[in-house]
Amino acid sequence: MSDAVEQGETVSPPPLRPRQPLQHTLAWLLALACLYTLYFAKSLLLPVVVAALFALLLSPLVAVFKRFHVPRTFSALLLLAAIGGPFTLLGSQLAEPAQKWWERLPELSAQLSDELDAFGRKLTPSEAPAPQTVEPQQGFRLFGWLREEPAAPATAAPANGDPALSDRVMQGGMEVMVKALGATPAVLAQFFTFLVLVLFMLIFGPSLYSTFIQVFPQVRDKQAATDLLEQVQRELSRYILTVSLINTLLGAVTAGVLALMEVEDALLWGVMVGLLNFAPYVGPVIGMLVLCLAGIVQYGPGLEALLPALVFFCINLVEAQFVTPTVLGQRMRLHPLVLMLWLILWGWLWGVVGVLIAVPLLVCLKLAADRMHLLQHWVKLIESPL
């Protein structure tokens, strides 16, 4: 080293080590910042994301109309009317039974609390223990900090159950109704924002995307970017339409079987289980719980009350184990554990709507990453066999 310096030779510095820990830290901080933004800006981002998924679903149909020289504005309005018409008709048919069950929620809650109180009294011993006398002057010091005040003498519970518990349940049901009514204006505003965004994305979205590809220099392969969007639109539309058809058939079969069993409001329960099935694992469990409640209301507390939930469980088992894997094939395979964690994440972020759009969003991200050859290890993890 000293000889090289004396001879005037330049000594190259040692190579710098890559700063992998710093990059990983920045990546985790970026991910946490994205989660923070998704959680606290959900009122803004929710209609935008749902509208983008819906526009991706309908864009291939608008492109087909465009080939026949149909203006995009007319085709977009026609598709929205064709989709919204049947849903409006179905909603008008289900409005009366849904309102009836909504009004019966406080009564059902009080009835269930009475049944639970009666079941609890059966489990308690018939002879109550002798009351212990507590001197009012003395107290009990909990962990040396809190002093417990002498308890008031307990009064005997009436024979028809604890009225305080029923009052609390009734009050809780009223609070839920008040919160739902208070959130109605915000929900309506988000719904109209969603409709406007879908319409504008279907009409002006393709031209904006084409301009983005041509103007921005970061997009080097212009044709590959165009093909990527078309492939994602086509495969996502195929997936959502297939799943929607399967869930519609599931709801129709469930409603038909429940109607044959003379279950009250069978059409309402069929539509409910069909919508809930868009959230795998979580939706069917909620559907079975609701059907158990409907069975208890109609048949009373007994084994007969479990029949509607048992019928739906059998139908859903056939659909989940045989129909859906056969129709979708291996290309749309999602690992159950990854899917459950994804559902929990989006349920925490955006509530019920987040759970419903979690699977289409995961499929969209997986397709985009697979076509762009990005994050291949994550794609293989999501598609890992059971």
**Region class of 314: left (phi > 0), else alpha (psi between -120 and 50), else beta:** alpha
pLDDT digits 0-9 by tens, 288-318? 998 988 888 888 777 888 899 999 999 999 9
Tokens 């001197």, residue?
135
Tokens 């409006």, residue?
88
Report how far residue 291's alpha carbon sits from residue 299's, in angstroms, rounded to the nearest whole number. Answer: 12
Report how far residue 40's alpha carbon sits from residue 25's, in angstroms, rounded to the nearest whole number. Answer: 23
**Cα 58 vs. chain centroid, distance in angstroms?**
21
pLDDT of residue 191: 82
Work out how many domains the chain is built from and give that number: 1
Q: Report yes or no on 124 lying in a domain.
A: no
- Average pLDDT of the chain? 76
Q: Which domain holds residue 114?
A: 43-119+161-219
Spatial CA neighbour of 240 closest among 45, 46, 50: 50
Q: Report yes or no on 195 lying in a domain.
A: yes
Per-residue pLDDT band at 149 (split at 50, 70, 90):
very low
pLDDT at residue 108 is higher than 50: yes
Name the residue with higher pLDDT: 306 or 167: 306
Q: What are phi and psi of 141, to 5 degrees?
A: -100, 115
Q: Report yes or no on 197 lying in a domain.
A: yes
Q: Report yes or no on 250 lying in a domain.
A: no
Report how far residue 102's alpha carbon sits from residue 173's, in angstroms, rounded to the nearest whole number. Answer: 10
Question: By the 8 A CB rule, do 86 and 271 touch?
Answer: no
Report how far residue 111's alpha carbon sits from residue 316's, in angstroms, rounded to the nearest whole number. Answer: 29
Q: Report yes or no on 325 lying in a domain.
A: no
The reported pTM is 0.68
Q: Report yes or no on 135 lying in a domain.
A: no
Q: What are phi and psi of 100, to 5 degrees?
A: -65, -45
Per-residue pLDDT band at 21 (split at 50, 70, 90):
confident
Task: Pull the structure tokens for residue 253.
Answer: 């079969």
Question: By the 8 A CB rule, do 352 and 190 touch?
Answer: no
Q: Report yes or no on 185 lying in a domain.
A: yes
Per-residue pLDDT band at 251 (split at 50, 70, 90):
very high
Q: Report yes or no on 178 lying in a domain.
A: yes
Name the residue with higher pLDDT: 348 or 385: 348
Question: By the 8 A CB rule, do 291 and 309 touch?
Answer: yes
pLDDT digits 0-9 by tens, 50-96? 888 888 888 888 888 888 888 988 988 998 888 888 778 877 777 77
